[in-house]
Structure 1
Amino acid sequence: MVTDETRIDDDEPIPTTAEERAVWASLVTVAVSSGAYFALMVPRLLARPAEEVSWVTPMLWTMGLSIAGSVLLSIVVTVIAGAFRRGGCPPAGRGEVTSDVRDQEIGRLGWRASMGVISVGFGGALVLAMLDAATFWIGNLLFLFGTVGALVAAATKIRLYRRGF
């Protein structure tokens, strides 16, 4: 017999795991950093030929800042989430789910969703290389599809965390 004490409340919020917070942080930092990169590159490309556009250093900075930003944002969100939970962050390993089987399955499905996008980008880059296109186009096509693939993976993971399988 189900009583009020044993009934599961579907409306009760599900606490986020460290993995889910890392996915949210990655989504935000990849979107912001890549958006900034393309906002910098498009005006440069409109002003001069692709062969004259300096893109390698900005792309490297974008990737580095995206990784560092994702780590820092994940830490900040974890600290904030801990502050709202019973008045402070729990010590490591106590009261905090860091990873579980569901995280592993969600990670696998997110990776699978991104592979189609990334494969199309690699195919496009291969075609550009066969046509002897400028390295600007090849590098930026790979960066674009890598960004879109990361966003697809993050969006897939977040949907699975929030809505289930």
Structure 2
Amino acid sequence: MTFTERYTWAGLAISLATFVGYWSVVVARAVTDGLPLVDVAWRGPMLWSLVLGGGLYAVVMPALWLRGRGEALTDVRDQEIERYAETAGARIVGLAVPAALVVLALDVPPFWTATVLFTGSFLGALTSTGVALVAYRRGL
């Protein structure tokens, strides 16, 4: 397994943990407080999930890099897979942006705009990661 593939797996784990953690907190608050999702205190959990996810990513990347000292970090195949995967993920994120603009234009609560952007970004990253991991296993 190359450095880039290990890095991709780590990113997938961090993304899933962050996204599931955020939604677990928000849904638990909605259920325990008997509130609709719009009225739940969602801003703090979202900010914390972004900060903790980014922090974990910042710790894991150097750790993986240090572990792989002496080996080639990327090659032509890695670069081609990364370009292909990023294109797939960018398409999903590209759909989330106009969807968020529509939500804003409909003047709905900010929760829904943030949710569209947060979920769209997650789905874009998930798509990119999935495409990359499939490409590592089966080839382009």
TM-score (norm 1): 0.74
How far the C-alpha of 1:78 sits from its partner, in A, is 6.0
Q: 1:105, 1:127 → 2: CA distance?
A: 34
Please tell me whether the aligned partners of residues 25 and 71 of structure 1 are also in contact (alpha carbons under 8 angstroms): no
Counterpart-to-counterpart distance in 1, 2:40 and 2:75: 46
Q: In structure 2, how many angstroms separate the alpha carbons of the residues matched to 1:67 and 1:22?
A: 14
**Larger CA Rg, structure 1 vs 2:** 1
Ranges in structure 2 where 5+ consecutive residues have no aligned partner: none
Q: Please tell me whether residue 99 in structure 1 is matched to residue 74 in structure 2.
A: yes
Match of 1:70 among 57, 60, 74: 57
- Between the two proteins, what is the percent identity of the paired residues? 31
Number of positions where the alignment pairs a residue of Structure 1 with one of Structure 2: 138
Q: Which moved more, 1:126-135 or 1:63-72?
A: 63-72
| Residue number among 99, 102, 121 corresponding to 1:124 in the alignment | 99
1:142 aligns to what?
117
Mark the CA change 1:140 to 1:27 in structure 2 (over 3 Å): closer, same or farther: same
Partners of 1:20 and 1:161 lie apart in 2 by 7
C-alpha distance in 1, partners of 2:54/2:7? Answer: 11
Looking at structure 2, the residues matched to 159 and 50 of structure 1 have their Cα atoms a distance apart, in angstroms, of 35
Deviation sequence 1:19-66 (CA, Å, 0-9, x none): 211111000010011101011112334522445322222112111211
Deviates more, 1:41-50 or 1:136-145: 41-50
2:81 corresponds to which letter in structure 1? I
Root-mean-square deviation over aligned CA pairs: 2.0
> Unaligned stretches of 5+ in structure 1?
1-15, 83-88
2:21 pairs with 1:36: yes
Partner of residue 129 from structure 2, selected from 145, 151, 154? 154
- State the one-letter code of the partner of 2:134: R
Q: TM-score if structure 2 supplies the norm length?
A: 0.86
Q: Distance between the aligned counterparts of 1:72 and 1:24, measured in 2?
A: 14
> Residue deviations 1:54-82, cap 9 Å, x none?
22221121112112223434455566xx5
- Is the CA contact (8 Å cut-off) linking 2:26 and 2:37 kept in structure 1? no
Tell me which protein shows more helix as a share of its residues.
2
Please give the alpha-carbon distance, in whole angstroms, between the structure 2 residues aligned to 1:77 and 1:101: 20
